[in-house]
């Protein structure tokens, strides 16, 4: 199987599975507990049908949208995700370059493996910084200041991960950073020697946003301990309000599901909320973001930008979310599997295929621009 054989999410996933050691593939692929929410995130889109218009004459389709003051050429973007150079040695460099090629936004995680400064200097496309709230308030201020000095436009605070989810696939293989593999996990690495060769022959793995606080060599801190010891589970709305003021720029709250939380986010000055359950990796049994989308748009859509991620695999998923009222849609696993499969070339192919899907779907819907999509074009199944 080659990159040219990949035509959709599932093809990229299969190619990534062939190339990655099992523990790393399962880290990307897996969810929390019984993975009910992981499955439901995508299945939710199947509960709503598209109702297309015809004879509208749509020779040109404008896919652009504006979120948090950032003009995007596409109504979807590459969400910030952790540990990308573990999946492919190019990591965030590949994702940023592919996003720049297609004129869309990308994100850098606090647990990213390439520095904010390097990516901001290399690409002038919209960039967000995905941030976790730490017990050490001085560390929070220092990290925000660093992002400002790097020229990052949007702060994205993730609030659904104050502790790590129960990801049992990782427990079975012993996947962690640093590695503490079981015998079965080590055997799976041995079966994929090409990954190991790439890992040891390229730049040393690191977390530049947290290099003073997380020792990838196993000395002072592991990723698991980072979530359980450094993040502040007592964070509240007052803390958020202070952070919004201190940042002083566009601010987005990621991990919202409850409509009352979306209302509070608007009240404290957030510019956007992202409906997300972390791709089903945190609280199993959580509502799928698409199922929560309509109600939250109705409550706060006139006060801030409502965005969603989790479970997006097709252009029709994006079209349905936009018709429901989302301003844009985030992609996570949808670009991580292409990244793992083929680096920058894989991410570019995925973005190109998804762009073609959305454009074709909008033509078939009779929509010339994103704003033409609305709920009259959706029908919720009753059986």
Q: Structure tokens of 41?
A: 């995130």
Burial class (CB in 10 A: 0-12, 13-18, 19+), 50: middle
Please state, in angstroms and rounded to a whole number, the distance separating the CA atoms of residues 152 and 140: 15
Q: Supply φ then ψ for residue 154, to 5 degrees.
A: -130, 130
**Active-site choice (88, 89, 134, 278):** 278
Q: Supply φ then ψ for residue 190, to 5 degrees.
A: -65, -25
Please state, in angstroms and rounded to a whole number, the distance separating the CA atoms of residues 42 and 314: 9
The Cβ-side half-sphere exposure at 120, using a 13 Å CA radius, reads 16
Please state, in angstroms and rounded to a whole number, the distance separating the CA atoms of residues 187 and 169: 15
Which positions ≥6 away from 187 have C-beta within 8 Å? none
Please state, in angstroms and rounded to a whole number, the distance separating the CA atoms of residues 379 and 358: 19
In 28-134, DSSP assigns E strands to: 48-50, 65-67, 70-72, 76-78, 106-109, 127-131
Please state, in angstroms and rounded to a whole number, the distance separating the CA atoms of residues 172 and 102: 38
Q: Is residue 285 within 8 Å of 35, Cβ to Cβ?
A: no
Does the annotation count 278 as an active-site position?
yes
Q: Structure tokens of 347?
A: 């991410």
How far the first Cα of the chain sits from its last, in Å, is 39
Residues carrying an active site annotation: 278
């Amino acid at each position: 199987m080659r990159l040219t054989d990949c035509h959709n999410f599932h093809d990229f996933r299969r190619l990534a599975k062939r190339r990655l050691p099992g523990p790393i593939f399962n880290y990307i692929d897996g969810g929390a507990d019984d993975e009910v929410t992981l499955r439901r995130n995508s299945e939710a889109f199947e509960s709503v049908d598209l109702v297309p218009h015809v004879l509208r004459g749509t020779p040109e389709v404008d896919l652009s949208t504006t979120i948090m003051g950032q003009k995007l050429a596409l109504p979807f973007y590459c969400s910030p995700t952790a540990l990308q150079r573990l999946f492919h040695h190019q990591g965030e460099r590949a994702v940023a370059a592919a996003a720049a090629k297609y004129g869309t936004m990308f994100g850098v995680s606090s647990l990213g493996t390439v520095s904010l400064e390097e990516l901001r200097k290399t690409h002038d496309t919209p960039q967000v910084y995905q941030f976790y709230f730490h017990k050490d308030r001085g560390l929070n201020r220092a990290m925000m200041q660093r992002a400002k000095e790097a020229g990052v436009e949007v702060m994205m605070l993730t609030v659904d991960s104050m502790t790590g989810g129960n990801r049992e696939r990782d427990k079975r293989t012993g996947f962690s950073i640093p590695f503490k593999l079981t015998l079965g996990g080590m055997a799976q690495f041995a079966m994929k020697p090409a990954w190991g060769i790439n890992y040891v022959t390229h730049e040393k793995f690191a977390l530049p946003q947290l290099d003073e606080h997380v020792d990838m060599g196993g000395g002072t801190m592991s990723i698991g301990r980072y979530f359980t010891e450094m993040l502040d589970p007592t964070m509240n709305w007052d803390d958020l309000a202070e952070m919004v003021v201190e940042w002083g720029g566009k601010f987005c709250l990621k991990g919202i599901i409850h409509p009352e939380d979306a209302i509070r986010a608007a009240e404290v000055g957030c510019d956007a909320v992202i409906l997300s359950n972390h791709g089903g990796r945190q609280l199993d049994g959580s509502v799928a973001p698409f199922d929560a989308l309509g109600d939250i748009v109705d409550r706060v859509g006139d006060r801030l930008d409502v965005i969603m991620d989790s479970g997006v695999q097709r252009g029709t998923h994006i079209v349905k979310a936009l018709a429901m009222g989302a301003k844009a849609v985030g992609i996570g696993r949808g670009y991580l599997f292409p990244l793992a499969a083929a680096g920058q070339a894989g991410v570019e192919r995925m973005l190109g295929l998804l762009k073609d899907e959305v454009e074709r779907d909008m033509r078939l819907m009779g929509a010339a621009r994103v704003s033409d999509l609305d709920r009259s074009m959706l029908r919720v199944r009753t059986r």
